[in-house]
Amino acid sequence: MHSALQPVGPRAELIADLMLLFFAVSAVVYVIVIAFLVWAIMRARERAVQLGPAATAQADRKSKVAVGVGAALTVLTLAGLAASDFIVGAILRQPPADPLRVLVTGHQFWWEIEYDDPVPGNRLRTANELHIPVGRPVQLIFTSRDVIHSFWIPSAMGKMDLIPGRTTNEIIQVSQPGTFTGQCAEFCGFQHSKMRLTLHARPAEEFDAWRQRQLAPAREPQTQEARRGQQVFMQSSCILCHSVQGTAAAATVAPDLTHIASRRTIAAGSLPNTPSALASWVLDPQRIKPGSRMPASRLPPDDLSALVAYLTSLQ
Amino acid sequence: MCSRSSEPRERATAALLSPYRAGVASVVVVMLLLCACEREERQFSAQGGSSPSAASMAPASITLSDLQPGVSTQARRGERELEVNAFSISEGQRLYEWFNCNGCHANGGGAIGPALMDDVWIYGSAPANIYATIVQGRPNGMPSFRGRIPEQQVWQIVAYVRSLSGQARKDAMPSRTDSMQVKPRQVALPREEPKSSAPPSGNQP
Ligand SMILES: [Cu+2]
């Protein structure tokens, strides 16, 4: 689901209400202005012949009053709208009591998501999927590793820019379980349109269980083929960019793959997470996302299938 | 009669050549030329690519010395294609950081590893030499990246490393770094004339 007109939390509802208010007021103003215009055209036609100097002076006075009243009403309407905007802004800015803190870093062309925790071992890095507990406010802290991106989940929040070298933040709160889509909303390069993410809101217990599973180090490969795939991974380029917790792979410039098999899509929503999609992605990401920052790896077919077996075992 | 009929035509020609029109025309021509120039080409995958051929990087074809018996026939400048291309040099710049070359060579000034922005080269300055240095590794602490960096990306890094000492074309060099600026822009530095040197651990006085 993907619509700012179907808000799924109290904060998003406020924004949707504000949008509706602006729309309604503008619509009423529009109708009034057009009505006056039509009325003025009709009246001018009737009275075009009968205006003498005295009548003009009187009409002048009248129109001065009309303009004055019109201007006052306009200022009042705008002030009202501005006030409602400020009030909603102030409510949204109020820090909630006990938010879940999540750091979101924009990369060309994917989202790095890190759950903050005072215990370093409990910090959790993942990519392109934001999981949150239903009902609890979540403070998102944004920054960017390269260019300016903008984080937007229409059903849950307005847009917020991710700016290299500084942080911005926004609070979201979702009151019903579900999966909602999001998208980068600031042009950031070749694959801007394929820089998507999903928001998964679930009941608190389910969220905690997910978090515990994700905190565990990568599963040791169980089959012969997956074991060989792990060797391929560790001995080729993958290890220079990706990390798999619990192995020697610890680079941080690309998505963490510790639990890659648990994600529904790969490459920021570009492909479903299936073995064949994984294989074609690893073989030539530039065919799927030209300009993305993962180079093609020309692996022999049996190395590739072993590697895919390893990746799909990373539950 | 002839002169009368050609008069409007002359006026038309004069109007066409007015300084304003000439200015617009030359801007258009320059833009068309820029579109055609190799500086801007972006090659995402190496298929049939501009990467130098395998033959030129076979160990047998790589020389580590400028000296040759008789008349030197060694071409001092190697494969150029990537060094006129702004995209490959800036990709090289990004990967230089991603693959932690700067952890040992800093931003070209050198640290654990030797400086890469000066004129001194232990293992040769030609693209094939630097390719070999990265892929094979070097005995005094330069790790081997064989199998770890895809070929096209190695060449991009080579182009960037050479640009550090001004060996790439000025208009193709990145005019800023992605991180904190710690030295003058490459384009503002003079081109160094590469020369060979013994490794620091060699039998130097
Ligand atoms: Cu973006």
Whether residues B99 and A291 touch (CB distance < 8 A) is answered with no
Q: Which residues of B touch A146 (CB under 8 A)?
A: 178
Mean pLDDT of A99-113: 94
Q: Is the pLDDT of residue A214 over 50?
A: yes
> What CATH homologous superfamily does A224-311 map to?
Cupredoxins -  blue copper proteins (2.60.40.420)
Whether residues A241 and B46 touch (CB distance < 8 A) is answered with no
Whether residues B178 and A291 touch (CB distance < 8 A) is answered with no
Token look-up 């077996």 returns: A309
Q: Is the pLDDT of residue B141 over 70?
A: yes
The larger pLDDT score, comparing residue B120 to residue B1, is at B120
Sign of CA dihedral A18, A20, A26, A28: negative
Find the CB nearest A236 among B46, B98, B147: B147
Q: Is the pLDDT of residue B205 over 50?
A: no
The pLDDT assigned to A136 comes to 92
Which of A237, A239, A294 would you mutate first to test chain B, the one with the most B CBs within 10 A? Answer: A237
Distance between A237 CA and the closest CA of chain B, angstroms? 4
Residue A221 CA to residue A229 CA, distance in Å, equals 9
Find the CB nearest B99 among A240, A286, A297: A240
Nearest to A147 by CA among A105, A183, A182, A199: A105
Lowest mean pLDDT among A54-58, A96-100, B68-72, B90-94: B68-72
Distance between A77 CA and the closest CA of chain B, angstroms? 47
Closest residue of chain B to A252, computed from CA coordinates: B98
Fold of A100-215: Immunoglobulin-like (2.60.40)
Mean pLDDT of chain B: 76
ipTM attached to this prediction: 0.81
In CATH, the number for domain B62-69+77-196 is 1.10.760.10
A60-to-A33, A36, A47, A66 alpha-carbon distances in Å: 20, 17, 15, 10
Q: Where are the alpha helices (DSSP H) in chain B?
A: 2-16, 19-36, 86-98, 102-105, 127-136, 151-164
Q: Which residues of A touch B143 (CB under 8 A)?
A: none
Q: What is the CA radius of gyration of chain B?
A: 23
Lowest mean pLDDT among A124-138, B43-57, B87-101: B43-57
The pLDDT assigned to B77 comes to 43
Lowest mean pLDDT among A111-125, A126-140, B141-155, B164-178: B164-178
The pLDDT assigned to A59 comes to 75
Token pair for B125: 């300055």
Distance between A307 CA and the closest CA of chain B, angstroms? 15
The pLDDT assigned to B71 comes to 62
Cα-based angle A58, A61, A66 (whole degrees, multiple of 5): 125
Amino acid (one-letter) located at A116: D
Distance between B94 CA and the closest CA of chain A, angstroms? 10
pTM above 0.95, yes or no: no
Question: Do A100-215 and A224-311 share a fold?
Answer: yes
Report how far ligand 1's centroid is from the alpha carbon of B98 (Å): 19
The pLDDT assigned to B19 comes to 73
Q: Quick one: B178 exposed, middle or buried, by C-beta within 10 A (0-12, 13-18, 19+)?
A: middle
The pLDDT assigned to A257 comes to 94
Q: Is the pLDDT of residue B5 over 70?
A: no
Lowest mean pLDDT among A102-106, A262-266, B74-78, B188-192: B74-78
Q: Is the pLDDT of residue B3 over 70?
A: no
Contacts A–B by Cβ distance under 8 A? 34
Residue B78: pLDDT band by 50, 70, 90 thresholds? very low
Q: Is A250 helix (H, G, I), strand (E, B) or coil?
A: strand
Lowest mean pLDDT among A104-118, A135-149, B72-86: B72-86
The larger pLDDT score, comparing residue A94 to residue A106, is at A106
The larger pLDDT score, comparing residue B28 to residue B164, is at B164
Mean pLDDT of chain A: 91
Closest residue of chain A to B146, computed from CA coordinates: A236
**Residues of chain B with a CB closer than 8 angstroms to some CB in chain A:** 42, 44-46, 94, 98-99, 147-150, 152-153, 178
Q: What is the pLDDT of residues B33-67, one digit of tens each?
A: 665 566 777 777 765 444 455 545 566 667 776 66
Q: Is the pLDDT of residue A88 over 90?
A: yes
Mean pLDDT of A36-51: 76
Distance between A45 CA and the closest CA of chain B, angstroms? 49
